[in-house]
Amino acid sequence: TVYEGVIVDVHLDRAELVNGDIVRREVVEHPGGVTVIPVDSDGSVWCVRQFRYPYAEEILEIPAGKLDHGEGESIADCGARELKEETGCTAGRIVPLGCVYPSPGFLTEVVHLFAALDLAEGEMQPDEDEFVEVVRLPIAEVEQMIVRDEIRDAKTMAALYRAKLKGLY
């Protein structure tokens, strides 16, 4: 371990390649996360706009968060919690959409994808360090924003595509 941080730990490992060579590999350990694509009955997606420090810009994405509430919280429960915190919505149905590896070359993070359907509106409950603006957009507009390179968030694109392939919208 070369670094223990707030969100990640970094290791410098020695790994053996298939040809027998020994190489150094940096591995960033992350607890994993969940993202939820909330789709309401009129075909709109509930997105959030928030400032993302590493990019020094506000980005549009779907609700998401870390798996950091301990073993007592299931992955689906984490998704429902993040949905409520960031949009105020609760879902009548949470549909699993699989998972993605955001950057498999060095990062252990696995992001679990869900669709949230049969939404009921409520009050947002953001974390104290979370400042988000909720933006509802028609699915077709979200797709066009991806085409125009206005949405660059990989988990948003993956969840939208998986939901579409599963016929959820």
Q: Is 9 left (phi over 0), alpha (psi -120 to 50) or beta?
A: beta
Specify the residue for token string 């009955």: 41
Question: What is the SS3 string spanning 111-160?
Answer: EEEEEEEEEECCCCCCCCCCCCEEEEEEHHHHHHHHHCCCCCCHHHHHHH
Active-site residue (options: 61, 128, 143, 150): 128
Q: CA 53, 55, 58: angle at the middle one, nearest 5?
A: 75
128 is catalytic: yes
Catalytic residues: 128
